Each structure stands twice: as structure tokens, then as C-alpha cells.
Amino acid sequence: MSSRARAAVALTAAGALAAAGVATQAGAASTQVRRLSASKTALKFSTTRITARPGRVQLVMANPSSFPHAIAVEGRGLDRDGRTVGKGGTSRVTATLKRGTYTFYCPVDGHRQAGMRGRLVVR
């Protein structure tokens, strides 16, 4: 097959995938994923500062702890909570964020007050 024919097949396949709703590289880049984890032994996260660009952001928190945890984000009129998960689970929260500073935290009773929080800076 000639290089011109291969290019035509590749373009046709990419178009078919896009039409079917399958994420291509450009589509996958539309949601920024930021990963963190809960501590195995303390009420804290693996980081206290996360940065992102304005747009759709997903925080993904792994829970290696025997305590239940979740991830939440609030600020600038937004307040979203991910699902509370046990050991080995993953909590996710997704939001469209504007420039500014937000707080991410664990919404399980008492965990935020004990130190499970950080800053999410969108710039």
C-alpha cells in the first residue's frame, strides 16, 4: 500500500472513531486529570497544592487507608463531592473551573478539620 493510501486509511479511521464518540488525543486532553492519594496512616493527602489550567479538571484520589475517604472541591460558588470509598478504592470529582483558588478536601466528618485539605490553584 502506498504512503498516500495509508494516510487516507488513517484519516478515515480517525474520522470514524471521532464520529462514534471515541476520545482521540485532542478529546482526551480536554479534561485535566490530577492524581493524589490519602495517607495510609494519617489524616492527610499526598499533596497540599495542585495546579491546573482553566477548564474541566478531574481530581482522582486513591485510598490506601483503612479509613473511608473521598475527594471534594469547593470555591468560587462551587461545591462538589466525590464518592466516599474504603481501602483500595478511588474517589473522583470533576468540575469546570475558572481562574482562581479552590479548596480540595476530604468531606468525611472531621477529616477536613483534621488536616485533609489543600489548595487547587487554577491559572
27-122 is a CATH 2.130.10.10 domain: no
Asked whether residue 59 carries a pLDDT value surpassing 70, the answer given is yes
* pLDDT class of 1 with cuts at 50, 70, 90: low
Give the tens place of pLDDT for each residue, 87-98.
999 999 999 999
CA 33 – CA 59 distance, rounded (Å): 6
Q: State the cell numbers at 3.
A: 504512503
> What pLDDT score does 4 carry?
52
Instruction: State the virtual CA torsion across 66, 67, 70, 75 in degrees, nearest 10.
Output: -140
Average pLDDT over residues 20-44: 76
Phi, psi of 62, deg, nearest 5: -85, 145
Q: Is residue 63 helix, strand or coil?
A: coil
Burial of 72 (0-12, 13-18, 19+ CB in 10 A): buried
* pLDDT class of 13 with cuts at 50, 70, 90: very low
> What pLDDT score does 2 carry?
52
68 close to 84: Cβ distance less than 8 angstroms? yes
Give the tens place of pLDDT for each residue, 61-111.
999 999 999 999 999 999 999 999 999 999 999 999 999 999 999 999 999
